[in-house]
Amino acid sequence: MSVRVATVLSAREWEPRLVAHARDSASVRIVVRAYQPQDIDRHASELDVVVVGGEVSWATPAHVASWKQHGLGVIGVIPAGDAPAGRVLELGGADEIVPDTIDPTALVQAIRFVAPSAARHMPESTASRMTAVVGSRGAPGCTEVAIAYALARSSDVSCLLIDLDLDAPAVAVRLGLAPRPDLTDAADAVRSAGELGSSCVQRIDGLDVITGSHRPSEPALKGALVEGVIRTSRAGWEEVVADVGSSRHGMAVVAEADEAILVVNASPVGIVRAAQLVAAWSGPAPALVLNRVQPGSRADVVDAVRRWTGLEPAVVLPDRRRVASASSAGKAPEGRFAKAVGQLGGSR
């Protein structure tokens, strides 16, 4: 079913470009091009999203809030740098604010993402377990650990690995998977259909995977959309493994997880950064994986981690060339590395 849209008539080019793109591609359905607020009010029951320019004098915070109360998504379009117009739309609760130079395809994607989601009306189901794999900045090895752990779990239960590192997704490149379908496709499927079909998921060695999105020209995924993918995933798989990495959005995912794995790079900087992350921790007590321990330094590094983080390492992984070689070649994680990480799920 197409998303039903009202645009507020504008002399700026974004509005006729969007209308023409919608007509040619049938990607969304333009129900009304409003000249006055009552034009939208009359059609509210037929709409999903309102797209309004920040230059429209009557588009006050009260009007935006009224559309939101009707259950409509609202996207504001403003000239680049027009902060006052953006603040007006923000005060009303607009879901997304984009520049008027946005490409019509990207604007359509934003429209589809803020439309009322079918997943919001799904009944709560008995959720599977979710394990979040997280680390501080500096590439401590979260993706390698997440893949090894998910592969180990997939031998016992149905398991889905999701790349939720919104800042630097790496699962697709690491496993040599196609860039699409990706997390954006999964979010779109949940929004429109309330479920994740097979077209959103890739499969490798018995493990289901949703790769991260590499779409720099499109708006970043909203937190609510990511939450929808997580919730729907937990209804369809016995275990969900989320590669959060060091994403600035990561701790929100960790807070909702049942289990957490904290990956720490075994260097002075890595340990200090991990201590900072632990100090702000919100979520289940993490199992600490100490990665890339140099030969002969194990005892000192483990002691430093204990003192700085207050956590006992659950797994200590030596720095081995074969681990890096398997990673750069897109192969399964190196054997001893995979076996050690897999032990984290052994008690379940």
Q: Are residues 172 and 68 in the same domain?
A: no
The answer for residues whose C-beta is within 8 angstroms of residue 131's C-beta and 6 or more apart is 149, 153, 239, 240, 241, 242, 257, 258, 259, 260, 261
Which helix H or strand E contains 31, and what residues bound it?
Answer: strand 28-34
Residue 175 scores a pLDDT above 70? yes
Q: How far apart are alpha carbons 144 and 67 in whole angstroms?
A: 45
Among 142-151, 174-183, 241-250, the least confident range = 241-250
Mean pLDDT of 185-213: 88
Q: Is residue 249 part of a domain?
A: yes
From the CB of residue 322, how many other CB atoms can be counted at a distance below 10 Å?
12
Q: Is residue 112 part of a domain?
A: yes
CATH number at residue 261: 3.40.50.300
Q: How far apart are alpha carbons 25 and 29 in whole angstroms?
A: 10
Q: Is residue 97 part of a domain?
A: yes
Q: State the Cα angle at 174 between 305 and 194, rounded to 5°.
A: 100
Q: Are residues 86 and 140 in the same domain?
A: no
Residue 119 scores a pLDDT above 60? no
Q: Are residues 86 and 223 in the same domain?
A: no
Question: With 0-12 CB in 10 A as exposed, 13-18 as middle and 19+ as buried, what is 176?
Answer: exposed
Q: What is the mean pLDDT of the chain?
A: 88
Residue 222 scores a pLDDT above 90? no
Q: Give the pLDDT band of residue 231 (cuts 50, 70, 90).
A: confident
Q: Where a domain ends, among 116, 150, 170? A: 116
Q: Are residues 160 and 254 in the same domain?
A: yes
Residue in 343, 346, 341 with CA at minimum distance from that of residue 326: 341
Q: Are residues 87 and 223 in the same domain?
A: no
pLDDT number for residue 196: 85
Q: How far apart are alpha carbons 89 and 347 in whole angstroms?
A: 51
Q: Are residues 249 and 222 in the same domain?
A: yes
Residue 117 scores a pLDDT above 90? no
Q: Which domain holds residue 44?
A: 3-116
Higher pLDDT, 309 or 231: 309
Residue 260 φ then ψ, to 5°: -140, 145
Q: Are residues 22 and 100 in the same domain?
A: yes
Q: Are residues 138 and 111 in the same domain?
A: no
Q: State the Cα angle at 16 between 10 and 21, rounded to 5°.
A: 145
Q: Tell if the pTM clears 0.85, that is, is over it.
A: no
